[in-house]
Amino acid sequence: MRRNLIDILDLSVEEIDELCAKAEDIYHNPEKYTDVCHGKIMGALFFEPSTRTRLSFTSAMMSLGGNVLGFSSAASSSVSKGETVSDTVRMVSAYSDIIVMRHPKEGAPIVAKMSSRVPIINAGDGGHYHPTQTLTDLMTIRRRHGRFDGLTIGVLGDLKYGRTVHSLVGAMSRYKNIKFVFISPDELKVPQHILNLYKEKISYIETENLEDVIGDLDILYMTRIQKERFSDLLQYERLKDSYELTREKLKNAKADMSVMHPLPRVTEINTDVDDDPRAAYFEEAECGRYIRMALILKLLADKTSDMPLEGETVTGKICGNPRCITSCERGIKHLIHNGRCIYCDRKID
């Protein structure tokens, strides 16, 4: 029996509260935790580049007294020789006690959990989900605002491929009176299949203009326009400079608004914002170390199993999403649950 973290909704709101409280205790009393993972090994399988997620997970495991093995690019693993995700994870789960995995294809961590003997943590799967970034975001919101209910959250940038956005919307959909203001170019709006999952639980408006709405926001969650997700680079060139937050634009924002960003940033936040007390993004990245320590402890100790899927699962239909892990993993079983691909959540007719 083991728990995995693939989607932020795999954790209940009570568990998220416990993780945030544990992370604060670790932050204030690190000496209590220096040896609690002695003898444990974390596998870090990064098929896609990362600075914060990989290094904060590594720092987290080392700070708990554990060890880390793994790779930081697909090129330095046997995937470059044609090995599948399933075989790779099967092997690494024989060498480690917990696995953290980032992969460019949507749903790859679900393949991983099917072939693993140890807990799998999704560290970002393509443009789909990034639940541990959301834990980091929630810890930051809790610190700065003291609550999750009743917030108006502006989310700006690449809302189409932004996995941190999709996980944040899912997480916040479980709190009361949340209003989202989605700010993006038309081409980068939140995908309908993501809105369909949460639209009954959140209220939202969509706009292209930050200046019109900045005064209403408690949180402005900025994101990068992600070059690596575009198949049409001309479209990327046209959209990449759509937004730039400057100190001047912050003049119209609330005095206690938080400017958040999962990072890395490119040009969407001018460095002249960094010294403003509302800039929360470096604190947010720092929180990543402590909330990931709390998560590692929880999943290593948790001997329950994932919540079962409710409803009917069928095979025989094919997911046609080229960004889904089903498009490239050999031997994969296409599984459709309640009309959606279980790996990437796309509706299958």
Q: Which stretch binds ligand CP (CB under 6 A): 44-52, 113-121, 146-154, 214-222?
A: 44-52
Which of 85, 105, 100, 152 shows the shortest CA–CA distance to 131? 100
The stretch near ligand CP (CB under 6 A) out of 180-188, 200-208, 244-252, 259-267 is 259-267
Size of interface with ligand CP, in residues (CB under 6 A): 9
Binds ligand CP by CB under 6 A, chosen from 150, 264, 322, 339: 264
Nearer to ligand CP, 168 or 245 (CB): 168
Sign, CA torsion 227/230/231/237: negative
Interatomic CA distance for residues 144 and 138, integer angstroms: 10
Distance from first CA to last CA of the chain, Å, rounded? 34
Q: Which is nearer to ligand CP, 119 or 262 (CB)?
A: 262
Q: How far apart are CA 347 and CA 349, in angstroms?
A: 7
Is residue 263 within the footprint of ligand CP (CB under 6 A)? yes
- Contact between 296 and 64 under an 8 Å Cβ cutoff? The reply is yes
Find out whether 346 and 340 touch, Cβ atoms under 8 Å: yes
Q: Enumerate residues 135-194 that contact ligand CP by CB under 6 A.
A: none
Neighbours of 225 (CB within 10 A): 24
In the beta sheet, which residues pair with residue 204?
Answer: 180
Rounded CA separation 95/37 (Å): 15
Of 225-233, 236-244, 261-269, 338-346, the segment contacting ligand CP by CB under 6 A is: 261-269
* Binding map of ligand CP across residues 106-125, x = CB under 6 A, - = no contact: ------------------x-
Q: Shortest gap between Cβ of 229 and ligand CP (angstroms)?
A: 13
Report the 10 Å Cβ neighbour count for 139: 25
Stretch that binds ligand CP, among 145-153, 154-162, 256-264, 267-275 (CB under 6 A): 256-264
Q: Which of 118, 168, 91 is nearest to 4 (CA)?
A: 118
Paired tokens of 29: 């009393």
| Residue 203 interacts with ligand CP (CB under 6 A): yes or no | no
CB of 312 to ligand CP, least distance (A): 34
Q: How far is the CB of 212 from ligand CP (least distance, A)?
A: 28
Angstrom distance (rounded) from CA 78 to CA 80:
5
Residue 133 sits in the site that holds ligand CP (CB under 6 A): yes
Query: What is the residue type of 80?
Result: S
State which of positions 47-66 bind ligand CP (CB under 6 A): 50-53
In whole angstroms, the minimum distance from the beta carbon of 133 to ligand CP comes to 5
| Piece of the chain touching ligand CP by CB under 6 A; list 28-36, 46-54, 66-74, 302-310 | 46-54
- Provide the binding-site residues for ligand CP, judged by CB under 6 A: 50-53, 124, 133, 262-264
